[in-house]
Structure 1
C-alpha cells in the first residue's frame, strides 16, 4: 500500500514539475530580468560615452569660451562622473535623438520631454520643468487666453513636448489647428512668427527668454497647460546600470545645489545686450571712465587703436566695472574668458590694467588674423564681432554670406548673415554649428554708438575748454550742433 501511494506521489510530482516548466517557458519573455550593468560596463571599457543632442542655445553650441549649453555642461560632468570622455553627436532634432538612442547611442540629452508610450527607451529622473508658452507676432491683439488661438496660423515643434499641450487644448476647442515640424528649431519658429508666416507659436518659456532679444517683433503671450519634465533617455535591453548611474548623478547635483546653480546661470536671466539709455551712459562716463582713461590710452598706444574705441568695447563688456562677472564665468572690465586671458598672459582678470591691456591685444590679434581682403571699417567691425562670438563662427558667417551671393568682405553683408547661424537650415552647413548670431550684430552696433558718444563728449569738452581760454562765457550762442547723429 505505501508503495502505491509513493508511486502516485511521484507521478503527480512529475506532472506538476512538467507543467511548471511549460508555464515558465511560456511566461519567460514577460518575467523581468535581473538588472545588470552590461551597457555601463561597455561604456567604461571603451572609455567614452556617446551622447546625442541638438545644436541649440538651450542644449549645446559653440560659445565664446568653446562648447557650452545647459545640457552640454550636464553631459560633460556626467562623463567625468563615469570616468570617461564625452563623444558628442549634435546633428539631431528632437525626434531623431530618440531613434539614435534606440539604435546605437548611449545617451540622449536634447531638451527631451517625459512623454508616455515610449517603450524603446528608459527615461531618467526629471532634470528641470519646462513650461509651454504661447508667443505671437507684435501687432496682433486679443491673444490672452487659449480660445484666442482658434483660427490663427499656429506652429510648434514635433516631438518636443509642446504639441502635447496643444492636443490637450484641442479637446476643449475642436477647431484648434496648428503646424508641426521636426526639421525646424526654436529660433526658426520664432523667425516665422516675426516674418508673418505664422501668427503665433508654442515653445517653452526658458527657450523664449534665451531668444527674445533677436526677435523684437515677437511678444510673450500666456502659459499653456502644465509644465513637462526634461529628462535624458537611455536604451532599453542593455541593463539598468547606465540608467541608475545617471539617476544617481542627477540626484547628487540636485542635492548639492549644482543643478540649481546651472539653471540660474542659463535660464535665470534674459541675457540682454541692449543699448542703454543716454542718461545712464553719460552718468557712467562722468563717474567711471575717468578711473580708466589713462589705461585705455596706454593700451591704445601699444595696439594702434583709438582709445575711445577700446573704452567703448569696455563699456559694452562690463559698463566699466573691473569686478564684473558674467553668468558664464567671463570676468573683468574687458570680460576675458579664462583661455583668452591665459593666451594674452593675463593672470588676474579683475586687475583693470591687465584686463584692458589683454583685451586690447586680443582685439588686435583678431583683427590681424582676418583675411587681407577685408579692409577699412569692415575689418574693424568684423574683429569686434569675433571678440564677441569667436573667429570660427565669424568665418562660418562669411562662408554663408558668399553662399547667399553677397560679399563676405563687407560688414553690412556679413551682418545680415550672422543671425542665420541661429537657424538649422544654415548652421548645419557650417563647421562650428549653432551660434547666437544676432548677438554680435547688436554688440557691434552698441560699440559704434558708445564710441560716437564718447567722441562727441570729448570733442565738446575740448571745445568748451577752448571757449574758456578765449573768454567766451556763453557757448550756446555759437553755431555748432551738440546732438550726435547715431547710426542705426
Structure 2
C-alpha cells in the first residue's frame, strides 16, 4: 500500500486535470494553452512570407484576434483545401482563416464567423478564344479546385445543365489554374473575381466571361460544437474592428489598388521588366534605404516608364520626374542622370514620409507620401483637412483618396490653404504605382513559399468539449 499511495494520488491528479479541461470552454482552452492555432493557405490575400515576415489579410486579422484573447498566434499553413479542412476536423487547429466562402454544403458541417468581404464566382477564358456569355455557351472543360466553393457551384449547376463538362484538381491552386488558362493548357476555370483582378496583372491574356450566381460572403470557419465561446468572442472582435476602422483600413490595403484592367499597359509593363528594368535594378536597390526597391521601381515606371530622358510639359524630368526645386533640395545636379534621379527620388520620398503627421498608421504612410510626391505635401494636407471637414478619418488613406478629387472643385478648394490641385490624377497615380508594385512583388515571387515545411504534422488533436 505504501507503494500504491503515490500512484493513486497521481492518477487522481491526472483525472482531475482531465475533468478540468473538459469543463473548460473552447476559449478557456485556447487561453490556457497560450496560443490560437489558425489553419490557412499560402496566398497573397490569406497568408504568406515576405523577407521572413508574415503578411496577408487573414494573418493580420488573426493576429489582432489572438491579441484580443491575450494569446500568441500560431499560423498553420496547409497545401490544399482537403488538408485544410482536415486540420479543423481533427482538432489540430482552432479555426480556419483562408478566404473561405460560406456555402450551403459547408454550413451543414461547420460554423462561420461574420463575413468581412464578398466574392463573385467568375468564369475565366483565354483572350482570343470564343467568349461564353452564360453557362449554356461553355464549350470545353472547366477546371476547379477539389473541395472548393466553385466545385460546389458547378455540381449544383450540372443538375440544370447535364452536358456541362468540368473536373476538379487536387494537385494545384487557383492561381495555377489561371496560369493554365493563360497558357492554353485549360479551356476555362472558375475563380473569385478578386483573384482574377489581382492576377490579370501577371497574365494579361485571361479575361472574365461571366459571373456565376450571387456574391458569396467570406468568413472564418469553426467546427461544429455546442460551445459558442470562441464564436461569441469572434463576433465581438469583428464589431470592435469595424467600429475602430480596422476593417476599412485592411480593405484599402489589400483591395484598394485593384482597379479596371488595362491589357496594353500590362503587356508593355511586363515586357519592360524583362528588357529595361534589369539595367536599373542595381540602382533602385542601392538607394532604396529603408524603402522596398520595387516600390521605387514602380514609382519610376509610373513617372517615366524607366526612360532616363523622359520630360514633361510641366518641366519635370528624368527617371523619377523631379522638378528643379526638388532636385536642388535633394542635391541632384543632373536630373537626366539615372543614378542621380533615382537617388534623389528615394531621398525625397523618404523625407515626405518623415514629414507626415504621426497619427497616420505606419502601413498607410507610404500611400500618403506617394500622393504628396505627385501633388505636393501642402495639397495633400489640404485633402486631409477636407476629409476632416466632411467628418471622415483624415488618417485613413481610403477616406483621403476619395476626397482628393474635391481639390478640383471651387466649392471645396476655396476652403483650403493651397487651393486648386489635380486630385483625381493623384488618386490614379497612387493606384497605378500600387498595381505596378504588386506586379513586381509577384515577379520576384517572395510570398507563398511551397518549400516551407508545414507546421501541423506534430500538433496534437484536442477533443471537443
| TM-score interval (norm. to shorter) | 0.5 to 0.7
Structure 1 residue aligned with 2:340: 307
Task: Kindly indicate whether the alpha-carbon contact (under 8 Å) linking 2:353 and 2:365 is maintained by their aligned counterparts in 1.
Answer: no
Instruction: Give matches, 1:338-377, under 5 Å.
Output: none
What TM-score comes out, normalization by structure 1 length?
A: 0.55
Distance 2:133 2:213 in 1: 14
Alignment match, 1:294? 328
User: In the alignment, what sits opposite 1:115?
Assistant: 103
Tell me: CA distance 1:319–1:173, structure 2 relative to 1, closer, same or farther (3 Å). farther
Query: Displacement of 1:329 after TM fit?
Result: 2.0
Q: Distance in 1 between matches of 2:315 and 2:143?
A: 49
Measured at CA, do residues 268 and 331 of structure 1 come closer, stay the same or move farther in structure 2, by a change above 3 Å? closer
Q: 1:169 to 1:432 in 2, by over 3 A?
A: closer
| Contact 1:130-1:204 at 8 Å conserved across structures | yes
Larger Rg: 1
- SS for the counterpart of 2:143 is strand
Matched positions, count: 317
Pairing partner for 1:92 from 79, 84, 87? 79
2:169 corresponds to:
181
Q: 1:343: which partner in 2? A: none
Give the superposition deviation at 1:60. Answer: 1.2
Any gaps of 5 or more consecutive residues in structure 1? 1-34, 336-349, 351-387, 398-414, 434-488
- 207, 212, 219: which one aligns with 2:207: 219
Classify 1:253/1:320 alpha carbon distance in 2 versus 1 (closer, same or farther; 3 Å): closer
Give the 3 Å change call, closer, same or farther, for CA 293–264 of structure 1 in structure 2: same
- Distance verdict in 2 for CA 1:47–1:195, change over 3 Å: same
Matches within 5 A, 1:172-251: 172-237=160-225, 239-251=227-239
- Give the secondary-structure state (helix, strand or coil) at the position aligned to 2:253: helix
Matched residue, 2:130: 141
**Is contact 1:94–1:110 with CA below 8 Å preserved after alignment?**
no
Q: 1:72 aligns with which of 59, 75, 79?
A: 59
3-state SS, counterpart of residue 264 of structure 1 = helix
How many angstroms apart in 1 are the aligned matches of 2:68 and 2:201?
35
Whether the 8 Å contact between 1:39 and 1:238 is mirrored in structure 2 is: no
> What CA distance in whole angstroms lies between the structure 1 residues aligned with 2:368 and 2:216?
40
Question: Match of 1:111, SS?
Answer: coil
Cα drift, residue 170 of structure 1: 2.0
How big is the alpha-carbon RMSD for the aligned residues of Structure 1 and Structure 2? 4.4
Please show how residues 444-459 of structure 1 align to structure 2 within 5 Å: none
The 1:321–1:64 alpha-carbon spacing in structure 2 relative to 1, beyond 3 Å, is farther
Aligned residue in 2 for 1:32: none
Structure of higher RCO (CA pairs closer than 8 Å, 6+ residues apart): 2
On the 8 A contact 1:323/1:332 being kept in 2, the answer is no
Secondary structure in 1 aligned to 2:78?
coil
Secondary structure of 1:224's counterpart equals: strand
CA deviation vs aligned residue, 1:103-157 (integer Å, no higher than 9, x gap): 12111111112233445532223232221111211111332222222x2232122
After superposition, residues 29-178 of structure 1 pair within 5 angstroms as: 38-63=25-50, 66-103=53-90, 104-118=92-106, 120-149=109-138, 151-178=139-166
Distance across 2 between alignment mates of 1:187 and 1:139: 20
- State how far apart, in whole Å, the 1-side matches of 2:156 and 2:352 are: 47
C-alpha change, 1:85 and 1:309, in structure 2 (3 Å) is: same
- Per-residue CA deviation, residues 428-478 of structure 1 (Å, 9 max, x unaligned), is 125899xxxxxxxxxxxxxxxxxxxxxxxxxxxxxxxxxxxxxxxxxxxxx
Contact 1:156 1:163 in 2 (8 A): yes
**Structure 2 equivalent of residue 375 of structure 1:** none
CA 1:37 to 1:227, structure 2 compared with 1: closer, same or farther past 3 Å?
farther
Compute the displacement of 1:292 (Å).
Answer: 2.6
Q: 1:432 to 1:100 in 2, by over 3 A?
A: closer
